[in-house]
Amino acid sequence: MKSISTALCSFGMSGRVFHAPFIEVNPKFKLHGVLERTRNLAQAKYPNVLTYRSLEELLEDRHVELVIVNTPNITHYEFAKKVILAGKHVIIEKPFTAVEHEAQELIDLAEKHSVKLSVYHNRRWDSDFKTIKNIVSTGVLGDIIEAEFHYDRFYPNLSDKKHKEIPSEGVGNIYDLGSHIIDQALCLFGMPERVFAIIDTLRKDSKVDDYFDITLFYPSHYVSLKSSYFVREPMPAYVVHGTKGSFIKSRSDIQEHDLQKNISPNGKNWGIEPDSEKGVLHIVDNGESKKVDINSEQGNYMAYYDGIYEAIRNDATLPVSGLEAMNVIKIIQASIRSHLDKRIVNI
C-alpha cells in the first residue's frame, strides 16, 4: 500500500482539529507538509512535517500528491485553481466556493488535468446525521411529509477571526453552518424544486448574516433549515415527520469535542454518542402506536479519508463530489436571491 503524501494549506482550527489527526493516524496517508507563513505550529506537534512559507513553495514540492485547501472561504477558488494547475489532487474545505460559476470552473479544470477534486463535507459522517439517514432509508416513517434541521449556537459576540466578520462573497452563517445542513438535506432528499429564505443579522455591530430560515420545496414534502447564534437552550437538531410517524434527534456527535481535547480518532469507541442522546421514534404500525428509543450510529470522519484514498489510488467514486458540493452553493445563492427579492426562487 502506497500512502498518499499530503499537505495542508493552513494549521488553524481546521487543519489542527479536522484534518491533521486523521491523516497522521491513517497509514494510507502521510502528513508531508503544512503551509504556515510565519509560525511553525504544525512542526511543533508533528516534528517530521515540512513547513512551507508560500503556496508556491508547497506546489513546487514534487512529493506532494494531495493538497487540502483549508484557508478562509474567499480564497478557496484561487488556491484550489493553483493546486489543480500544478497537477495535484485537492480537497477543499466547505464551502466549496463563494459562487456557482467558480465551482463549475474548478470541476471542469480538475477533469481536464486528470486530478481528483472533493469537498470536505464531513458532517455527513456525524453520528446524529448517520442515524437520521438510516431511519429515513428504512422507510419506517412512511412517506416523508416534513423535515426540520437546526444548527444553532449561542454566540452573540463577534468572531475573533476577522475574516469571518468582513462582508464579502462566501462569508456569513449561511456559508458556515448553512453549508453543513444544506448538504445533509441534499444527501437525504436530492435537489429541491424551489427555495424560500429569510437571512438576517442579529448580533450587535455585526456586518454579516448570523441567522437564516430556509425552506426547500419538494414535490411531496418540505424541508426547513434553520440556524441562529442566539439559541441558549438547544432544540432538537433533526425532526422528521412521515405518514407513519415521527423521529426526533439531538445534535450530539462527539467527534469535534474529542478532537478539541486531542483524543486520537483511531480508538474503537471513536464517535460513539452517550446513551442519553438516543433518538425517539414514534410511529403507528398496524394500527398500534409504538414509541421507542433509537441508538445512534457511530460517527466516523475517517470514512471520508478512506474514500479519498480509494478514489485516488483505485479510481473509486469520491466520498463527496464537486457536483454535490456545487449544488450546496447553488442552494445558498438561490437563498440569498430569495431573501433579497422576497420571493420563492425556482431551482
Specify the residue for cell string 457511530: 298
Could you tell me if 290 and 253 are in contact, meaning their C-beta atoms sit under 8 angstroms apart? Answer: no
Task: Encode pLDDT of 19-34 as tens digits.
Answer: 999 999 999 999 999 9
Confidence of residue 326 (pLDDT cuts 50, 70, 90): very high
CA distance 177 to 184: 11
Q: What is the mean pLDDT of residues 167-181?
A: 94
Confidence of residue 1 (pLDDT cuts 50, 70, 90): confident
Task: Encode pLDDT of 86-144 as tens digits.
Answer: 999 999 999 999 999 999 999 999 999 999 999 999 999 999 999 999 999 999 999 99
Domains in the chain: ranges and CATH: 4-120 (3.40.50.720), 123-299+331-346 (3.30.360.10)
What percent of the chain stands above pLDDT 70?
100
Contacts of 237 by beta carbon, 8 Å cutoff, 6+ apart: 128, 149, 150, 151, 249, 250, 251, 252
Query: In this predicted structure, what is the pLDDT of residue 267?
Result: 85
Indicate whether 295 pLDDT > 90.
yes
Indicate whether 169 pLDDT > 90.
no
Residue 265's nearest CA partner among 23, 6, 35 is: 23
Torsion of CA 266, 274, 13, 129, to 10 degrees: 90
The average confidence (pLDDT) of the chain is 96
Longest dimension (CA), the chain: 67
Confidence of residue 162 (pLDDT cuts 50, 70, 90): confident
Residue 94's nearest CA partner among 212, 184, 31 is: 184
Indicate whether 163 pLDDT > 90.
no
Indicate whether 246 pLDDT > 90.
yes
Query: In this predicted structure, what is the pLDDT of residue 211?
Result: 98
**How many Cα neighbours within 13 Å face the side chain of 181?**
27
Q: What is the mean pLDDT of residues 189-193?
A: 98
Q: What is the mean pLDDT of residues 219-248?
A: 97
Give the pTM: 0.96
String of DSSP letters for 181-213: HHHHHHHHH---SEEEEEEE--STT--S--EEE
Task: Encode pLDDT of 284-293 as tens digits.
Answer: 988 899 999 9
Query: In this predicted structure, what is the pLDDT of residue 164?
Result: 86
Task: Encode pLDDT of 68-102 as tens digits.
Answer: 999 999 999 999 999 999 999 999 999 999 999 99
Q: At what angle do helices 76-85 and 100-112 cross, to 10 degrees?
A: 10
